[in-house]
Amino acid sequence: MTDIKAEIDVLPGLDSSARLLEVEDLRVEFRTPAGVARAINGVNLHLDPGETLAILGESGCGKSVTAQAIMGILDSPPGFITGGAIRYRGVDLLKLPEEQRRKVRANHIAMIFQDALSALNPVFSVGFQLGELFRVHRGMSRQDAKRRAIELLDMVKIPAARQRINDYPHQFSGGMRQRVMIAMALALDPKVLIADEPTTALDVTVQAQIMNLLAELQRERNMGLILITHDMGVVADVADRISVMYAGKVVEEAPVLDIYARPAHPYTKALLESIPRLDLKGQKLNVIKGLPPNLTRIPAGCPFNPRCAYTRDVCRADPPPPQYDVAPGRTARCHFWTEVAGNEPAVS
Amino acid sequence: MFRYFVRRVLQGVLTFFGATFIVYALMFANQTDPLQALAGERPLPDNVRQALTERYHLDDPFIVQYGHYMRGLLTGDFGVSLTNRKISEMMSQAWPVTIRLAVLAMIIAVMISVTAGIISGIRRGGPFDTVTLVITLILLALPIVVLAPLAQLLFGIQLKWFPATAGADPGLFQLILPAAVLASLVIATEIRVTRASVAENLRADYVRTARAKGLSKRRVIGIHVLRNSLIPVVTLIGLDLGNLMAGAIVTEGVFNIPGVGFNLFRGIRTEDGPLVVGFVSILVIVFIVVNLVVDLLYAVLDPRIRYE
Amino acid sequence: MSNVESVTQAETPAAATAPNGGDGGAEKPRSLASDAWRDLRRNWIFWVAAVLVVLVVVMAAFPGLFTSADPSFCQLSRQHAGPSGSAIFGYDFQGCDVYARTIYGARNSVAIGLLATLMSGAISLVIGMAAGYFGGWVDALLARGIDIVLGIPTLLAAIVLARRLSDSEDSGFLPVVLTLGVLTWTTGARIMRSSVIAAKSQDYVAAARMLGAGHARLMFRHILPNAAAPFVVVLTILLGANIATEATLTFLGVGLRGDEISWGIDISQASQFVREAPAPLVWPALFLAATVLAFIMLGDAIRDAFDPRLR
Ligand SMILES: Nc1ncnc2c1ncn2[C@@H]1O[C@H](COP(=O)(O)OP(=O)(O)OP(=O)(O)O)[C@@H](O)[C@H]1O
Ligand code: SF4
Ligand SMILES: [Mg+2]
């Protein structure tokens, strides 16, 4: 299979020694009648094979938009990529012609969406929607494609795959539907998988099953996984590294254990303090005060300054804090990271 | 599916009886001299009066009259016109012509409106969309009584592109102009519904998934979006049939096409009550049946209903 | 013709959801009505429609402003005579002034359209509110009733009904109004029903009910204002549709008749002599089309302003 694939889509300039995925200074804005919303303002990310990178952040901070920009499926208009680079094995995807960009999707980089019920087409059977990938990208016959689709359903452990292949999305339970989504994303054996809140729409018990399945499949295939989530508990279990986003920037990036032990950005710290903890049961949660900024009017200086407990004058003036190197493989965008990281997380 | 099917059929039956009852009641209930009403202003000879009284069981209570009328409808006995022709016979001569006309009109309408609706839906706010919006508005505002005679005047009489009137057994060419007139009755709504449906589906999450699968834009729109967008359009085509039938009365009258509408047109103008009642009853039945079929077709197209 | 009507039918879902307001991140909640009005003011379609509507209504109310000729003064000697200074559209088959007849023809169309729409609106208000507010078996029963009326193509029923209602003496005015009023309420009733259901589930209505507001008070103070926008849209479009249907009924010979001055009658007459004289057909046809267009455009513009989904 691998060699067929290599034959079909040789990307010019593909360099197997280059980083699997590298996002550099990505900028995205939405031009709407209400003004220009700067959703992504210089995001840097990187990912290696077999690695899991978690992206965390409040609603609206730009997690999904980042994912869509990497996939090349931003709604445009209103969304426009205004700067930066997205390199896959050394190839800048933003410079590829659309036809080649299209072939990167599903073949090299694939994505799982949050709500499988609306993300699957309601009027086609799951067999059709899975088989379509093989027919379009591999030129397979209907029959072969269907055979492969059944294999995929088996792979994601859907019982009686052969009987269910002609069923429609609404006939599956939520968990099973998300398995179908996973099967669809992994059909062409991509090297990078982006999962945008893959379990948010599911029951707690089903969430764990889906996460386990994802982790297992990732291990088998040595894929790079970008996991977008709100669930700090899940992050601690499966992620290797974490990028915390705020107002369209990565404000802190660190290996997972370091970040839990010693956050270097006030926002990360506040996020961690807002997790309900068993040992502190009964105490009031520390919810982050205030609201994220309006993306059409991001405050000058550090975007977090109106909500930050460490704010000083320098935070309110441009330039915004640069990306400070906290430790090897660790960065934070805070002028006072030493102070923040020095304190133990406040447990009051 | 089965439950949906049974429910729709039962509803259809109910509608059928309700609608025919209303039509019948409109014609006969509480009339001092229903026969004179049937005959309009013509004098009514005694023998005709006699025959009509028997025919409509006017000596019986109203509900019994309706029962007889229904039995007639269900057994294909639609009565006799004032000119003493069997309505079922007139029907069987007129149907083929009208069906030809309606099918031609539908083909024209669907081809134009689906194409224009899709383009407008994709390029909302663009020049094509704006022009289409204006055209649909104008089409909506042109009642058939304006459209049919004006089209005949312009394209038939002045420009002479098409025959101004169709003959006794009109061929496809004679029917093009009247079919286009009929089509323009429904094109505007069909364009608008297609456009709205395409626009809505383009925003659906599954479109993003389809793009994430690396499908070409063509395939995303041509297969994923289109298949979803056409579901409401198909339902609309069923409803539009009622418009087409009503429009056919005027159109066939103006263009002299010997179809169902023409017979009805003449029946109304010559105040031939029995003919009007017979033809209207049949058209109402056809309308109800077609809508039932379309509803069932809807279930075939939309699996969410099929496997309810 | 009822083609106009099915637009409203086909697009009701959009209109029905309108009162629930905008989608997505509405940042500062503005009132829907003021938002809609701001949108409306910027829409050229709205202005064209409004000007046309005002013009037609003035024409119907004061035809004397537009012509000093007598529309019922006809002389066969002037049959199909061409345009002249006094009769700018020429004369028709019976030698009547086409311009004067066209101006005076507005009155019947507008009057019938208005009255029929008011009647239809009243019926749909009562039926739709009852179905939506009481729900349950009332709703089920009324829904079947709506199905049945929808099962009869409007024009076909109108043909039968208008004939049935008129006795040959009168002008046919009242029968046409009644016919249209009785047959065209279904769309409005559906809109009203879904608006009421949507409004009913909103918190403030539940709160008002808990505070002991009675049925009538709930309806008129809390629910009705919310349902108003889509309802007005449907009625405006229906007004245009009714005018068109009236002309069609008249054209077929079951509407206005006799000495009445009406676009339908003129079109019907002139279409028989269209080969000899097109003008008596073309002018009333254009006026009729412009009038229908005006009302439909007005309804369309209002709907677009109140329906934020397609912005
Ligand atoms: N299609 C769009 N049009 C206009 N603005 C958009 C669009 N998509 C996203 N945005 C804006 O971009 C910002 C980031 O959105 P994004 O969906 O990435 O948030 P998120 O971090 O994924 O949040 P959530 O946790 O709620 O999924 C939001 O403020 C949103 O308003
Ligand atoms: S830069 Fe200043 S405002 Fe921003 S996070 Fe650091 S301390 Fe807070
Ligand atoms: Mg998101």
Q: For residue range C160-201, what is the model confidence (pLDDT) as tens digits?
A: 776 666 655 667 788 888 888 888 888 888 888 888 887 777
Residue B62 and residue B93 in one domain? no
Residue A94 and residue A147 in one domain? yes
Residue B134 and residue B240 in one domain? yes
- The answer to whether A211 and A179 are in contact (CB under 8 A) is no
What is the average per-residue pLDDT within A59-85? Answer: 88
Enclosing domain of residue C100: 32-310
How far apart, in whole angstroms, are the C-alpha atoms of residue C23 and residue C35? Answer: 14
Number of domains within chain C: 2
CATH code of residue C182 = 1.10.3720.10
CA distances from A21 to A48, A82, A192, A227, C222 (A): 7, 19, 8, 14, 56
Which of A239, A271, A299 delimits the end of a domain?
A239
Residue C38 is encoded by which pair of tokens?
């701001």
Residue C133 and residue C250 in one domain? yes
Enclosing domain of residue B30: 2-74
Question: Is A170 within 8 Å of B307 when comparing Cβ atoms?
Answer: yes
Give the per-residue pLDDT at A53: 93
Q: Report whether pLDDT(A256) > 80.
A: yes
Tens of pLDDT, residue by residue over A283-298, are 555 667 777 888 888 8
Enclosing domain of residue A295: 246-341
Is there a domain that residue A204 lies in? yes
Residue A101 and residue A187 in one domain? yes
Q: Report whether pLDDT(C119) > 90.
A: yes
Residue B27 and residue B139 in one domain? no
Residue B104 and residue B61 in one domain? no
* Residue at token pair 């999450």: B205
pLDDT band at B234 (very low <50, low <70, confident <90, very high): confident
Our CA-based measurement puts residue B175 at a distance from the nearest CA of chain C, in whole angstroms, of 19
Classify residue B298 as left (phi > 0), alpha (psi -120 to 50) or beta: alpha
What's the predicted TM-score (pTM) here? Answer: 0.80
Q: Which of A105, A106, A168 sits opposite B303 (nearest CB)?
A: A168
Give the per-residue pLDDT at C121: 92
Residue A235 and residue A277 in one domain? no
- The answer to whether C272 and C84 are in contact (CB under 8 A) is no
Q: Report whether pLDDT(C299) > 90.
A: no
DSSP string, A5-50: HHHHTPPTT--TTS-SEEEEEEEEEEEETTEEEEEEEEEEEEE-TT
Where in A108-248 does DSSP place strands (E)?
A: 109-112, 192-196, 224-228, 241-246
DSSP letter for B75, please. Answer: T
A63 lines ligand 1 (CB under 6 A): yes
Tens of pLDDT, residue by residue over C54-107, are 998 988 888 777 777 777 777 767 666 667 766 667 777 676 777 888 888 888
Residue C16 and residue C64 in one domain? no
The mean predicted confidence, pLDDT, of chain A is 84
Query: How many CB atoms are closer than 10 A to CB A28?
Result: 24
Residue A223 and residue A131 in one domain? yes
Q: Report whether pLDDT(B110) > 50.
A: yes
To test the contact with chain A by mutation, choose from C23, C27, C28, C311 the residue with the greatest count of A C-beta atoms within 10 A, namely C27
Show which subunits contact B, needing at least 3 CB pairs below 8 angstroms.
A, C
Number of domains within chain A: 2
**Residues paired with A88 in a beta bridge:** A21, A91
What's CA C310's distance to the chain center, in Å?
Answer: 24
To test the contact with chain B by mutation, choose from C6, C269, C295, C302 the residue with the greatest count of B C-beta atoms within 10 A, namely C6
Where in C17-73 does DSSP place strands (E)?
A: none
Residue B149 and residue B210 in one domain? yes
CA distances from B220 to A107, A132, A212, A303, B189 (A): 17, 11, 32, 38, 25
Is there a domain that residue B188 lies in? yes
What is the average per-residue pLDDT within B51-72? Answer: 74
Our CA-based measurement puts residue B294 at a distance from the nearest CA of chain A, in whole angstroms, of 17
Residue B92 is encoded by which pair of tokens?
């069987």
Give the per-residue pLDDT at C118: 94
Kindly list the residues from chain C whose CB atom is less than 8 angstroms away from the CB atom of residue B157: 274-275, 278
Give the per-residue pLDDT at C186: 87
Question: Which range, A7-21, A136-150, B258-272, has the best average confidence (pLDDT)?
Answer: A136-150
Share of chain C above pLDDT 70, in %: 74
Q: Which residues of C66-95 are buried (b: 16+ CB within 10 A; e: fewer)?
A: bbebebeebeeebbbbeeeeebebbbbbeb
Is there a domain that residue A346 lies in? no
Contacts of A151 (CB under 8 A, 6+ apart): none
How far apart, in whole angstroms, are the C-alpha atoms of residue C208 and residue C226? Answer: 15
Share of chain A above pLDDT 70, in %: 92
Is there a domain that residue A277 lies in? yes
Residue C26 and residue C36 in one domain? no
Is there a domain that residue A347 lies in? no
Kindly list the residues from chain A whose CB atom is less than 8 angstroms away from the CB atom of residue C27: 34, 294
Tens of pLDDT, residue by residue over A294-329, are 888 888 888 888 888 888 888 888 788 888 888 888
Query: Among all residues of chain C, which has the CA nearest to that of A32?
Result: C311
DSSP letter for A306, please. Answer: G
Give the per-residue pLDDT at A286: 60
Residue B165 and residue B98 in one domain? yes
Give the per-residue pLDDT at B308: 56
Residue A203 and residue A288 in one domain? no
Query: How many CB atoms are closer than 10 A to CB A139?
Result: 11
The interaxial angle of helices C224-252 and C173-183, nearest 10 deg, is 130
Which of A239, A255, A288 delimits the end of a domain?
A239
Residue B100 and residue B63 in one domain? no
Instruction: Identify residue B79 by its one-letter amino acid code.
Output: G
Residue B45 and residue B101 in one domain? no
Interface check for C203 against chain A (CB to CB < 8 A): the answer is no
DSSP letter for A148, please. Answer: H
Question: Is A123 within 8 Å of B303 when comparing Cβ atoms?
Answer: yes
CATH code of residue B232 = 1.10.3720.10
Tens of pLDDT, residue by residue over C184-194, are 888 888 888 88
How far apart, in whole angstroms, are the C-alpha atoms of residue C224 and residue C125? Answer: 10
Interface check for C27 against chain A (CB to CB < 8 A): the answer is yes
What is the average per-residue pLDDT within C276-283? Answer: 79
Q: Report whether pLDDT(A151) > 50.
A: yes
Give the per-residue pLDDT at B28: 66
Question: Is B236 within 8 Å of C6 when comparing Cβ atoms?
Answer: yes
Number of domains within chain B: 2
Residue C117 and residue C5 in one domain? no
Question: Is B212 within 8 Å of A137 when comparing Cβ atoms?
Answer: no
Residue B30 and residue B159 in one domain? no
DSSP letter for A60, please. Answer: T
Q: Report whether pLDDT(C25) > 50.
A: no
- For ligand 1, what atom is nearest to the CA of residue A57? 21
Which of A188, A206, A239 delimits the end of a domain?
A239
Q: Any idea which of A141-150, B39-48, B151-160 has the lowest mean pLDDT?
A: B39-48
The mean predicted confidence, pLDDT, of chain B is 82
pLDDT band at B13 (very low <50, low <70, confident <90, very high): confident
Q: Any idea which of A54-58, B48-52, B187-191, C301-305 has the lowest mean pLDDT?
A: B48-52
Residue C195 is encoded by which pair of tokens?
């608006």
- The answer to whether A301 and A317 are in contact (CB under 8 A) is yes
Share of chain B above pLDDT 90, in %: 12
- The answer to whether C120 and C180 are in contact (CB under 8 A) is yes
Backbone angles phi, psi at A139, to 5 degrees: 60, 30
Give the per-residue pLDDT at B108: 92
A75 lines ligand 1 (CB under 6 A): yes
Q: Which ligand is nearest to the CA of A65?
A: 1
Residue C2 and residue C50 in one domain? no
Is there a domain that residue B304 lies in? no
What is the average per-residue pLDDT within A163-167? Answer: 89
Q: Reply yes or no: is the peptide bond before residue A78 cis, omega within 30 of 0.
A: yes
Residue B138 and residue B34 in one domain? no
Give the per-residue pLDDT at A325: 86
Residue C26 and residue C92 in one domain? no
Our CA-based measurement puts residue A124 at a distance from the nearest CA of chain C, in whole angstroms, of 24
What is the average per-residue pLDDT within C238-265? Answer: 84
Residue A206 and residue A256 in one domain? no
Give the per-residue pLDDT at B166: 77
CA distances from A11 to A8, A44, B107, C1 (A): 9, 23, 46, 60
* Pairs of residues, one from chain A and one from chain B, whose beta carbons lie less than 8 Å apart: 76
Residue C184 and residue C287 in one domain? yes
**Residues paired with A241 in a beta bridge:** A53, A255
Query: Among all residues of chain C, which has the CA nearest to that of A33?
Result: C311
Q: Any idea which of B226-235, C97-106, C149-158 has the lowest mean pLDDT?
A: C149-158
- For ligand 1, what atom is nearest to the CA of residue A62? 18
What is the average per-residue pLDDT within A204-210? Answer: 84
- For ligand 2, what atom is nearest to the CA of residue A267? 5
Q: Report whether pLDDT(B6) > 80.
A: yes
Give the per-residue pLDDT at A243: 92
Question: Is B149 within 8 Å of C293 when comparing Cβ atoms?
Answer: no
Show which subunits contact A, needing at least 3 CB pairs below 8 angstroms.
B, C
Which of B48, B74, B100 delimits the end of a domain?
B74
Q: Report whether pLDDT(B31) > 70.
A: no
Tens of pLDDT, residue by residue over B261-287, are 888 888 877 777 778 878 888 888 888
At residue A202, the 3 state secondary structure works out as: coil
Kindly list the residues from chain C whose CB atom is less than 8 angstroms away from the CB atom of residue A294: 27
Q: Any idea which of A27-31, B39-43, B250-254 has the lowest mean pLDDT?
A: B39-43
Give the per-residue pLDDT at C30: 52
Q: Report whether pLDDT(A67) > 70.
A: yes
Residue B126 and residue B155 in one domain? yes
Give the per-residue pLDDT at C20: 38
Q: Report whether pLDDT(C210) > 80.
A: no
Q: Report whether pLDDT(A238) > 50.
A: yes
What is the average per-residue pLDDT within B99-128? Answer: 90
Our CA-based measurement puts residue A34 at a distance from the nearest CA of chain C, in whole angstroms, of 10
Contacts of B17 (CB under 8 A, 6+ apart): B70
Is there a domain that residue B83 lies in? no
Tens of pLDDT, residue by residue over B166-216, are 777 777 778 889 999 999 888 988 898 899 889 889 888 899 999 999 898
Q: Report whether pLDDT(C11) > 70.
A: no
Residue B34 and residue B160 in one domain? no
- The answer to whether A104 and A113 are in contact (CB under 8 A) is no
Residue C19 and residue C116 in one domain? no
Adjacency order of strands within the sheet including A324-327: A109-112, A192-196, A224-228, A52-56, A241-246, A249-255, A330-332, A324-327
